């Protein structure tokens, strides 16, 4: 039995998927999350084989949740299940390690195929998406400023955005204050911003918290 974690803030979507998978003999939803934080917490519990993840979560951007799940449990495939079109986000999602990209309007048979394919360890691409990728017709994806940051720089960004002092960050990360100050300078430069206040606004707007 393929155990699925569904992360979507719409109860009707989660209920519909639960009823849909209940009609199969090999797929069941074992956990549901309404927010990114819930999805991360449930994904770390090691009781699911596939994560079906919406991009538009209310607290953390779905692509950021994808990256964090991949970092915590790289062996668990994550399928992006979104109302956004493939042209907008598929390239970014696949580049971040998604096992596939599904539009919420996908035919039922395609959803089943995607889950089974991901569970087998392979990557799922719809025929339309595969054709666009092969033809080189897909846009490069939305390269956001924070995607230029290293893992450590991202960690410092999130702490600074919460008003954490350089000294406290240095203690927490077991680094010198000078090193944290250097990270801050790099972050400002890479993201094209000039203050901690702008960092905070950016993190809130992009739901990176």
Task: Identify the band that residue 84 occupies on the pLDDT scale cut at 50, 70 and 90.
Answer: confident
The pLDDT value recorded for residue 58 is 84
Q: State the chain's mean pLDDT as an integer.
A: 88
Q: What digits encode the pLDDT tens for the residues 29-61?
A: 999 999 999 999 999 987 899 999 998 888 888
Alpha carbon distance 196, 10 (integer Å): 33
For domain 2-135, the CATH superfamily is: Response regulator (3.40.50.2300)
- pLDDT single digits (tens) 153-176: 888 999 999 999 999 999 988 899
Residues with Cβ within 8 Å of 184's Cβ and at least 6 positions away in sequence, in order, are 156, 160, 166
What residues contact 106, with CB distance under 8 A and at least 6 apart? 114, 126
Class for the domain spanning 145-205: mainly alpha
Q: Mean pLDDT across the stretch 69-98?
A: 85
**Residue 196 and residue 209: Cα distance in Å, rounded?**
15
- Domain(s) of CATH 1.10.10.10: residues in the chain: 145-205
Q: Where in the chain is the domain with CATH 3.40.50.2300?
A: 2-135
Please, are residues 164 and 177 in contact by the beta-carbon 8 Å criterion?
no
Checking if the pLDDT of 141 tops 60, the result is no
Whole-angstrom Cα distance, residue 94 to residue 185? 30
Full-model pTM: 0.68
């Amino acid at each position: 039995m393929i155990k699925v974690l569904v992360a979507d803030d719409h109860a009707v979507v989660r209920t519909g998927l639960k009823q849909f998978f209940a009609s199969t003999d090999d797929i069941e939803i074992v956990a549901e999350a309404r927010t990114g934080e819930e999805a991360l917490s449930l994904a770390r519990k090691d009781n699911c084989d596939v994560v079906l993840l919406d991009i538009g979560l209310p607290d953390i951007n779905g692509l950021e949740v994808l990256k964090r799940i991949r970092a915590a449990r790289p062996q668990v495939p994550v399928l992006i299940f979104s109302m956004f079109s493939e042209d907008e986000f598929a390239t970014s999602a696949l580049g971040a390690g998604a096992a596939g990209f599904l539009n919420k309007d996908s035919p039922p048979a395609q959803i089943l195929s995607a889950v089974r394919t991901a569970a087998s360890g392979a990557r799922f691409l719809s025929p339309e998406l595969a054709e666009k990728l092969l033809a080189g017709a897909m846009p490069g994806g939305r390269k956001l400023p924070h995607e230029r940051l290293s893992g450590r720089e991202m960690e410092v960004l999130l702490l600074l955005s919460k008003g954490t002092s350089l000294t406290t960050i240095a203690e927490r990360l077991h680094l010198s204050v000078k090193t944290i100050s250097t990270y801050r300078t790099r972050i400002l430069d890479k993201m094209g911003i000039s203050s901690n206040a702008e960092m905070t606004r950016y993190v809130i707007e992009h739901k990176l918290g």
